[in-house]
Amino acid sequence: MNASDPACLDAHKRPQGAAHVSLLVVGAGAAGAAAAVAAAKLGIDAQLIDEHPVPGELMALDVPLHFGQRMARSSSNARSMEHILETSAELAEAYELGIDVQLGVCAWGVFPATPACAASPLLVGLADAGRSWYVSCDRLIVASGARDLCIGFPGWEKPGVMGAQAALQLMRRYDAFTGSRMLILGGGALAVEVLEAARQKGVTVAAVVDVETPPEADESAARIRETGVPHYPGHLIEAAHGGLAVESAVIVGLDEACRPRAGSELTLGCDTIVLAIGTVPNIELLDTLDVRLDFEPSRGGWIPRCAPDGATSMPSVYAAGDCAGLGAAAAEEGRCAAHAAGTSLGRTGPRTPRAARAHTADASVPRARTWMRAQLAVSGLDVPVCQCEEVSRRELIGLRPPRYLGTCEAHSRARDLRALGADGPLNQDQVKRLTRAGMGPCQGRRCREQIQILLEAVGDAKPGTIPLARYRPPVRPLPMAVLAADEEAAALRDHWVAWFNISTQWLAHWEPKPVPLPAPGQTPLVGESE
């Protein structure tokens, strides 16, 4: 490919008016804010963006977190913006240093310089509630944190069921949580964090329910006992009940093999059920960039392979904080990444912070597997796994086409996971295309990991052997009005599929298609090469 490539975004075909910054930091949590502050102190022209506060319409779609309709109507107003600033000392420092901080702005895609895209070297798609635009940058630090890991149960699609990260954001960052009686599912520090936030906000906690039975000396269990909130270790939620929303939950005791104990069912009144089973690193932007990923169960699952300074396998792109693996010192990683980016830009400070890669093991991955095993034993297969596309566990593992297509043809019924596995290694993307699971507006944020865990459980595969479904830009659902307003130049409109760099799924339409060779003795079908 060269400058005459018709698909190439040369200087004349760049998105109109893309501003340029030396460093863009995505995510203004502990890691991102520390990175932006460190970069500013090195004299680097940095921009720091964060998608919170998100518009109410997106929250209603459970984007970017599983909010479960428990947000007040005021959640995205100016008060939320103020509250977000008040609750983050790092952000306040970033403002004081004069850093260009943009809240309520999401990064929906990153496009590296490729033969088809003359970004310099990176072009980032940004959007707020009303418009979308691009910024180009020399270096990018992704500090996008973590999101909730959900394992479903009968009734988990009802309003009132939500993730722990979403509950913490609504209670602490937005001051806009509307539940009044909460049941917490999960264990460890995450469950305790939700419990403490709820008590501070005056929310009654009905109980904490945990599949595992922690040892007597366990710190989190001791903290739960201290609060006097009923604690049910060795229990599982059997179902959530209610009319339009959650009104109660039935929990059940488990034996050593995670099977339900007859007669141990208990009904608890609650309007909110918080999934505090675990979190997963937010790798979506990194994945769309084709950054090298590794499966690290003690760090939350799939994470970018990083050098000690946060450099990923993609030149000019760094990762810091929870998105680079759970359990690390986020702020220290942010500062390291900023110094590494600064050094690569020819800026060095008086003291380069030491590389921060030490971490404490995170229990999210093993805990989620235990929850799934118990759920399969207690609630079986007729439970929604993908809420957006209404796909049940049974339909997923039976590779059933979407219900709205009508009757399932015999050849589809004959297909199952075992048959697919016989063709080659199982792949979640293939399952997604056959069933639509993960294709809805929440973009798989509620089901991606649980589908992987379910496939591994049913296919008897080792953890991490089935890759997650790939992420694609835009990694946030953008209203058509936002995208439509971003009118592209005529020259840019040509060959846009190549610009999006979906090389594994597209054949360039301006190039001749390869014609498959017919098998010996076979007559090619008309249009077979299309």
Interaction site with ligand FAD (CB under 6 A): 26-32, 49-52, 106-107, 143-146, 189-190, 193, 282, 285, 321-322, 329-330, 475
- Min dist CB 356 to ligand FAD, Å, is 11
Between 83 and 403, name the residue whose CB sits nearer to ligand FAD.
83
State the Cα–Cα distance between residues 48 and 143, nearest whole angstrom.
10
Angle at 290 between CA 285 and CA 296, to 5 degrees: 80
Residues in the chain: 530
What is the rounded end-to-end Cα distance, in angstroms, of the chain?
24
Between 190 and 338, name the residue whose CB sits nearer to ligand FAD.
190
- Min dist CB 42 to ligand FAD, Å, is 19
- Say if CB 510 and CB 496 are below 8 A apart: no
- Min dist CB 48 to ligand FAD, Å, is 10
- Min dist CB 7 to ligand FAD, Å, is 26
Between 316 and 435, name the residue whose CB sits nearer to ligand FAD.
316
- Min dist CB 332 to ligand FAD, Å, is 9
User: Would you say the C-alpha torsion 215, 217, 222, 225 has a positive or negative sign?
Assistant: positive
- Min dist CB 262 to ligand FAD, Å, is 35
* Other Cβ atoms closer than 10 A to 329: 18
- Min dist CB 367 to ligand FAD, Å, is 13
Between 26 and 236, name the residue whose CB sits nearer to ligand FAD.
26
Angle at 89 between CA 62 and CA 333, to 5 degrees: 75
State the Cα–Cα distance between residues 460 and 443, nearest whole angstrom.
26
State the Cα–Cα distance between residues 528 and 530, nearest whole angstrom.
6
Angle at 203 between CA 194 and CA 166, to 5 degrees: 40
Identity at 11, one-letter amino acid code:
A
- Min dist CB 106 to ligand FAD, Å, is 4
Under DSSP, the state recorded for 131 is: -
3-state secondary structure of 510: coil
Share of the chain residues as helix, strand and coil, in percent rounded to the nearest 5: 30, 20, 45
Between 108 and 392, name the residue whose CB sits nearer to ligand FAD.
108
3-state secondary structure of 500: coil
Between 39 and 285, name the residue whose CB sits nearer to ligand FAD.
285
Reference 15, options 134, 140, 139; nearest CA is: 134
Reference 97, options 168, 158, 48, 141; nearest CA is: 48
* Other Cβ atoms closer than 10 A to 49: 23
Reference 129, options 474, 479, 473, 476; nearest CA is: 479
For residues 300, 164, 64, 62, the Cα torsion angle rounded to the nearest 10 degrees is 130
Between 51 and 210, name the residue whose CB sits nearer to ligand FAD.
51
State the Cα–Cα distance between residues 60 and 81, nearest whole angstrom.
18
Between 246 and 468, name the residue whose CB sits nearer to ligand FAD.
468
Q: What are phi and psi of 19, to 5 degrees?
A: -75, 165
State the Cα–Cα distance between residues 233 and 213, nearest whole angstrom.
5
State the Cα–Cα distance between residues 514 and 23, nearest whole angstrom.
42
Beta bridge partners of 269: 248
Between 145 and 440, name the residue whose CB sits nearer to ligand FAD.
145
State the Cα–Cα distance between residues 410 and 420, nearest whole angstrom.
16
Between 90 and 238, name the residue whose CB sits nearer to ligand FAD.
90
Between 99 and 143, name the residue whose CB sits nearer to ligand FAD.
143
- Min dist CB 49 to ligand FAD, Å, is 5
- Min dist CB 478 to ligand FAD, Å, is 12
- Min dist CB 116 to ligand FAD, Å, is 23
- Min dist CB 64 to ligand FAD, Å, is 6
Between 373 and 470, name the residue whose CB sits nearer to ligand FAD.
470
